[in-house]
Amino acid sequence: MGRHANGTKNYRIAGWIWFALIALVLVVALIIGWGALRQSNEASTDQKQCPEGDYSLNVWAAPERGEAAQQLVDKYNESGQVVNDHCVKAEVSQVADQEALDKAKNSDGVSSVWIPASPSTVAKGMADAGINTNGKDVPVVDGAAVFALGNDRGIDEQAARSGNDFASFVADSEGAQVVPLDQVADGSFDVDATSNDTTETQSSADNQSEAEKPADDNAADADGATTSGPAAVTFVVDTSGSMGLYEGDYTRMDNIRGPISDAMRGIGERGGIVGLWNYSSPMNPGVSVPYRDNVDISVGDDGTMASGIVNQLGFGGATYTYESVLAAYRAAVANASGSDKPGRLVLITDGPNDGGSIGLESAVAAIEKLHGEQAVQLEVVTIGENVDTEAMQQLAQAGGGNVHHAADSLGITEPLREAVEG
């Protein structure tokens, strides 16, 4: 018997068409998803490089030094410098020497980097006006002397750090010489005659008579006792959340700012140099390490910049001590290998290690090995009772130092003095 139509029309779509449509939708979704993932990865990469965005560094240059300044700025910008999580780009502003001095005296929009026409005149003018530079040395290249100013005269922290980074970049550039500030000020160093050949200068120094040579930093004093030479001291400050605890009328962090700043400036006054690190746990997007090298010891800061930054440090996060102190100690040892100043690192903490990528045993072993290569002394200042004293003693002993305890942040002055000077 044959089949008969029931009179109802059939509008069903063939199965293969459904499969084709589903496949097409999946392909489109994959393409869109891949594009979004790529954009996300690119954004993440940018964030890791400069999570705080871009920063424009203004470089003052006298018109006579405009060409040399622009060449330095171009090289700096090509290097892709990142400072304090900002991508820094420098730009030149032409400012005559006297105008720049007047602005600096009045704290009127002062640049943190200055390339004057007459470095000697400017150096003396700055000294007379009490305007401080970062450190006691000036990088000079192709007739351009680069003055980096500290974070006073209205210069904020980011500007000071970026200016310091620019000066350090110039100091490391080909053909640069690093000249003591006093030699620039008294005109004994001819800036316009800068070259890579320092043999004549060294020979002149070597030929000084014994009467003309400066006294040895380690010479005996009038009583026959020896006094230690100017030191290169790196401060490593715990800025974890517990530093926000109140002791007296202020937080622990607030209580230690003054004593640390005083110690830093005292080191500079004695001819020493200062470095500053702080640490907690990574808290900002894209930041993978728990520590920050605020003022590297290689910069030669006399305490002016470092003490200013101490007064701006906040607190938060966990205490990643072992990883942080090892990184800072390694940097201090690297600097000490090319320096005539005895190196020292002072760790200031108020709690036990809470995490990080390195354990106590590894940190102690690494510091002990580094200390054997270059004897940088590691001193530890502990605050309060929530510290792992035994662990701190192991760290200090590995670096040839001791632990100095303060019952609370209000009593840190004497333990800190012992750590710095003892």
Which amino acid does the sequence have at 81? Q
Its sign, for the CA torsion 58, 63, 66, 69, is negative
Residue 87: CB atoms within 10 Å: 16
User: Which region, left, alpha or beta, applies to residue 23 given φ > 0 means left and ψ of -120 to 50 means alpha?
Assistant: alpha
How do strand 113-115 and strand 147-148 relate by DSSP bridges?
antiparallel
Q: What is the pLDDT of residues 335-360, one digit of tens each?
A: 887 677 789 999 999 999 999 999 99
pLDDT digits 0-9 by tens, 177-211: 888 888 888 777 777 665 444 333 333 344 444 44
Per-residue pLDDT, 335: 87
Same fold, 54-195 and 232-421: no
Query: By the 8 A CB rule, do 402 and 422 touch?
Result: yes
* Phi, psi (degrees; rounded to nearest 5) at 395: -65, -50
d(CA 235, CA 239): 12
- Cα separation, 58 vs 149, whole angstroms: 12
User: Which residues are bridge partners to 246 per DSSP?
Assistant: 251
| Cα(346)–Cα(381) distance, integer angstroms | 7
Distances 285 to 43, 89, 265, 358 between C-alpha atoms, Å:
12, 22, 34, 21
**Domain map (residue ranges) of the chain:** 54-195, 232-421
Residue 254: CB atoms within 10 Å:
17
Q: Within 10 A of 290 (CB to CB), how many other CB atoms are there?
A: 26
Q: What is the CATH code of the structural domain delimited by 232-421? A: 3.40.50.410
Of 9-23, 90-104, 107-121, 169-183, the poorest mean pLDDT is in 9-23
Q: How far lies 153's CA from each of 98, 108, 296, 312, in Å?
A: 16, 8, 22, 16
CATH code reported for the domain at 54-195: 3.40.190.10
The pLDDT of 330-338, averaged and rounded, is 86
State the DSSP code for 336: H
**pLDDT per residue over 81-106, tens digit each?**
888 788 999 999 999 988 988 888 88
Cα 181 to Cα 325: distance, rounded to the nearest angstrom = 32
pTM confidence score: 0.52
Answer for the pair 235, 267: CB distance below 8 angstroms, yes or no.
no
Beta carbons of 162 and 88 less than 8 angstroms apart: yes
Percent of the chain with pLDDT over 70: 80
